Structure 1
Amino acid sequence: MALTHRTSRRLALFLAALAALGVLGGCTPVAYYAQSVQGHIALMTAARPIDDWLADPATPADLKPRLELARRIRAFAVSDLALPDNASYHRYSDLKRRAAVWNVAAAPPDSLTLRRWCFPVVGCVGYRGYYDEADAKALAAQLEKDEGLEVRVYGVPAYSTLGWLNWAGGDPLLSTFIRYPEGELARMVFHELAHQVVYVRDDTMFNESYATAVERLGVRHWLATQASEQARRDYAAFDGRRRAFRQLSRDTRDELNRVYAQKTALAHDPQALPALKSEAMAHFRQRYAALKAEWAAAGTPFDGFDPWVAQANNAFFGIQAAYDELVPGFEALFAQVGGDWPRFHAAVRDLARQPKAERQAQLRTLADTATARDDAVAPRPAG
């Protein structure tokens, strides 16, 4: 059911208040706040309960089983992953576009540290979102021209309002991801719900890495207990390629960070740092070409990462770091609490109360300890 006029007006006033506090926004211009409010109201107004879509004869035949699957995934998130049982993801919205929002990320030519936009309520984040792709590209061009930053504009299939709008119907399922393969659909729902469990001001890496860990661990459990063998095979094939690409990205980030660490030492030679950076980027593309060759040789050719590689720059690697840098630590924490989901979420809340540097250091220590333990018990070749 569409929002009533009264509810829509209440929502508009509430979103306007959030925007004024910086919850939804980028910087101070009223125009940016206006597009934030209007864009989210349009998304919410288009949402209808899943039952309405299922009962409507005009609903596309291929959409109905996807909505039924999403409803099962949503129930599983509550029963098996201890994720919030609230209004979110019980409605569906057809956005009639390929992304929910378009984010802009930016970084200096000699650093992977993202430019941040700061707001009074949610704190600072390493991206700025727009409901219109053209607006996102305009900001990216401005940052590139005026500040000399390397920029990245990328479509986002979903975002979280952190549970603040559950009174108005919550975050809906969206046409931008509803037709994802089963494992990917579950991954998306689990990730976005995780943001409603823990969100920390001024720490994008902590927030996104936690949600990424929840999605990975949750999908593993879903596939093992709920999915068909075909769904497990399909997910394993795609996720294997994704993990290989993320590992390549991590390796390249490490290489670039080593280059940028020499900035002061190489200040006497303006060409030295760009040359080393160019070499690292060339190495990245060579290794990616080798990965593609491996996939093709295995009979599973895949070029889905080509656009990312073609546009790879410091902003790209900075965003990648936000989503996976601390994931091994969260996975180690999950193992430490015996795979108990309520205890895991509680432990993450405890971490969130600590200073940023301390919680990130603890997660890295957890990851290093787990890796050392795994290495210690790994079988040794006979000799």
Structure 2
Amino acid sequence: MSTTLLIELLDRIHRPLVPLLGALLLNGCSTLDYYSQLARGQLDLLRSRQSVQALIDDPSQDAGLRRRLAEAQEARAFASAKLGLPDNGSYRVYADIHRPYVVWNLFATEEFSLQPETHCFPIAGCVAYRGYYQLGRARGAAALLREQGLDTWVGGVEAYSTLGWFDDPILNTMLRRNDDRLAALIFHELAHQRLYVPGDTAFNESFASFVEREGLRQWRASRGLGPLDEEAAERRDALTRLVLDTRERLESLYARDLPAERMRRAKAAEFERLRRDYREVRDRQWGGSSTFDTWVEGPLNNAKLLPFGLYDQWVPAFARLFHEAGGSWPGFYERARELGQLPLAERAQALESLMAKR
């Protein structure tokens, strides 16, 4: 269970927040190689797709795979029939890409900043990472950025959405999740197809995360199952709070006018404090569970902290919106769409107002 939770956390904080398709519309000699690998990677994935139903019906296929795919198809049908999510070919095809992750995301920041190096695409808007279909390419790009003095972090990703431009497949990388978490991931990615606002990561991910959570609750209820054990989510959320607290302290530190060496020592001290705080929570509240030890005890820098909080920032606001819509998915989606049409500052204000109503 601890391994599954760690995989879920890492996927949660590194999953592409937008599709890579927009990058394929760009050109320029200096970035041609990058966009070419995106095009090749997406095309290779598309060529690997097979009909899920054909695999389920084929007795020569692995029985475990057939069972997992059949379970996923029940969740996929539920997503459209009961949650109002797009009824298309996505997650009705399967692709085994013969690697542990579909892409690797590279995040980067200045040495004394928590502002990400952003990359802007015509369809997707601006995002805080670059995606690579090969780990070696991601690591090579990270090495070049480190030579420029930047903090970098590379994280593997199980799945991403093309926002309905293609029929997104269930990937072998997604099958490390249990059945509930696989269903939740399908709900999340289909939610991006239902509503996506270019350039507002926190809005998009919080929206999809709410749909994922409420969708999973309703999915389990439809099968006569009770709520999920919240212990795993509580541990994940506790780590997120520790990281966000560290980010706040670092932001205050970086705003000070200090010599570089003194700043570096203070920065290192904050990361050590994060480790100490984590160990205290782990040992006092989790019975010494080592679920997140590898992540916390490994190298820490600004870039590694970037994705935390993006998936959860406005989830309570969307929960309130769903309540105000009387639990109606069409009504909820319409209200969310209206929010998405507001200018960024007005949208944030509206979401804050919803948060205050809890």
Under a length normalisation based on structure 1, what TM-score does the superposition of the two structures give?
0.81
Deviation of the 1:27 alpha carbon: 9.2
**Per-residue displacement from partner, 1:147-180 (whole Å, max 9, x unpaired)?**
x221110011000010112xxxx00100001241
SS state at 1:323 partner: coil
Deviation readout 1:356-382 (Å, 9 max, x if unpaired): 122123213322332xxxxxxxxxxxx
Shift in alpha-carbon separation, 1:336–1:314, aligned structure 2, 3 A: farther
Give the direction of change, closer, same or farther, for the CA distance of 1:59–1:304 in structure 2 (3 Å limit).
farther
| Distance in 2 separating the partners of 1:280 and 1:18 | 37
How many angstroms does 1:256 deviate by?
A: 2.5
CA-CA distance at 1:338 after TM superposition: 2.7
Select the residue among 195, 199, 206 that pairs with 1:198.
195
Aligned pairs for 1:1-383 (under 5 A) are 19-22=23-26, 29-146=31-148, 148-165=149-166, 170-226=167-223, 228=225, 232-233=228-229, 236-260=230-254, 263=255, 266-294=256-284, 296-297=286-287, 301-304=289-292, 306-307=294-295, 310-370=298-358
| Counterpart-to-counterpart distance in 2, 1:187 and 1:227 | 17
Cα distance in 1 between the residues matched to 2:28 and 2:78 = 34
CA–CA separation in structure 2 for the residues paired with 1:18 and 1:310: 33
Q: CA RMSD in A?
A: 2.6
Greater CA drift, 176-185 or 99-108? 176-185
The corresponding residue for 1:3 is none
Q: Do the aligned residues in 2 keep the contact of 1:26 with 1:118 (CA within 8 Å)?
A: no
Distance across 2 between alignment mates of 1:119 and 1:193: 21
149-158 vs 270-279, which moves further: 270-279
Contact between 1:105 and 1:127, CA under 8 Å: does it hold in 2? Answer: yes
Q: Which amino acid aligns with 2:337?
A: R
Q: Deviations over 1:177-198 (max 9, x none)?
A: 1241122112211111111011
Distance (whole Å) between structure 2 residues aligned to residue 332 and residue 368 of structure 1: 10
CA distance in 2, matches of 1:275, 1:175: 43
Q: 1:312 to 1:225 in 2, by over 3 A?
A: farther
Residue 115 and residue 18 in structure 1: after superposition, are their counterparts in 2 closer, same or farther (change >3 A)?
A: closer
Match of 1:9 in 2: none
- Partner deviation per Cα, 1:32-84 (whole Å, 9 max, x = no partner): 22211111111111111112111223322211111011001111111222111
Q: Which residue of 1 aligns with 2:10?
A: none
How many pairs were matched up? Answer: 340
Cα separation, partners in 2 of 1:285 and 1:50, compared to 1, 3 Å: same
8 Å contact 1:67–1:178 — kept in the other structure?
A: no
The percentage of aligned residue pairs carrying the same residue is 38
Instruction: Give the Cα–Cα distance (whole angstroms) in 2 for the partners of residues 332 and 249 of structure 1.
Output: 26
Aligned to 1:377: none
| Structure 1 residues 308 and 160: alpha-carbon distance in aligned structure 2, compared to 1, 3 A threshold | farther
Contact 1:160 1:192 survives alignment (8 Å): yes
Structure number with the bigger relative contact order (C-alpha 8 A, sep ≥ 6) is 2
Question: Residues of 1 paired with 2:196 and 2:258: CA distance?
Answer: 43
Unaligned runs of 5+ in 2: 1-18
Question: CA–CA distance in 2 between the matches of 1:172 and 1:180?
Answer: 15
Instruction: Write the letter of the residue equivalent to 1:307.
Output: W
Write the distance in 2 (CA, Å) between the matches of 1:219 and 1:74: 12
In 1, the alpha carbon distance for the partners of 2:293 and 2:183 equals 21
Q: CA deviation at 1:304?
A: 3.9
For the residues of structure 2 that align with 1:103 and 1:16, how far apart are their CA atoms?
Answer: 11
Report the equivalent of 1:375: none
Q: Which runs of 5+ in 1 are unaligned?
A: 1-14, 371-383
- Report the CA distance shift for 1:359/1:296 in structure 2 as closer, same or farther (over 3 A): closer
